[in-house]
Amino acid sequence: MRAPLPFAALAAFLALSPPAVSAQAQGGEWSSAQTIEIQLSNYKFEPNTITMRRGQPYRLHLVSTGDHSFSSPKFFAAAQIAPQDAAMVTGGKIEVDKGAPRDVLLIPQQVGTYEFHCTHFMHAPMGMSGHITVQ
Ligand SMILES: [Cu+2]
């Protein structure tokens, strides 16, 4: 027995409808990302205190004069990272080699203060650490 026509039409309509719009950024919204440049050098981050707003898209532009890393597992875990950049963040960390700047698009999702540091041996104790505050 076939379903009454109106029901079939509704089912077809629902099947063709795009998924509900979520609060997360869809493709085009990344174009409004605000760039925050962070310079990594022996042995500091500049700036080493960063403020962001929850729910706003950012482009973290990481530039290094040596081989360093930007590690902040809790910050990255609490952010929506653009799908095309997700593979760059491994274990909450981005390696940034000399002459190879890294860009990662993300949207902070949770208010809080997040520590970041360089994971290379002895770099953090020598000054390579900082904080991100998400308001
Ligand atoms: Cu370092």
Mean predicted lDDT score pLDDT of the chain: 87
- To which residue do tokens 């079939």 refer? 8
| Residue 25 domain flag | no
Residue ranges making up the domain that contains 70:
31-134
C-alpha closest to that of 51 among 68, 34, 63: 34
Residue 20 has a pLDDT of 41
Could you tell me the distance, in angstroms and rounded to a whole number, from the CA of residue 120 to the centre of ligand 1?
A: 5
Average pLDDT score over residue span 103-126: 98
Total of domains in the chain: 1
pLDDT band at 14 (very low <50, low <70, confident <90, very high): very low
For the stretch 80-114, what's the b/e string if a residue is b when 16 or more beta carbons lie within 10 angstroms of its beta carbon? bbbeebeebbeeebbbbeeeeebbbbbbbeeeeeb
| Residue 19 domain flag | no
List, as ranges, residues with CB under 5 A of the ion ligand 1: 68, 118, 120, 123, 128
pLDDT band at 29 (very low <50, low <70, confident <90, very high): confident
Cα Rg of the chain, angstroms: 20
| Residue 125 domain flag | yes
| Residue 15 domain flag | no
Q: What is the CATH number of the domain that holds 68?
A: 2.60.40.420
| Residue 97 domain flag | yes
Tens digits of residue pLDDT in 64-113: 999 999 999 999 999 999 999 999 999 999 999 999 999 999 999 999 99
| Residue 80 domain flag | yes
Could you tell me the distance, in angstroms and rounded to a whole number, from the CA of residue 114 to the centre of ligand 1?
A: 18
Q: Are 40 and 62 in contact (CB under 8 A)?
A: yes
The share of the chain scoring above pLDDT 70, in percent, equals: 79
| Residue 102 domain flag | yes
Residue 109 has a pLDDT of 97
Say how far apart CA 101 and CA 94 lie, in whole Å: 11
Could you tell me the distance, in angstroms and rounded to a whole number, from the CA of residue 43 to the centre of ligand 1?
A: 6
The model carries a pTM of 0.80
| Residue 13 domain flag | no
Joined together, the tokens standing for residue 68 give: 């360093």
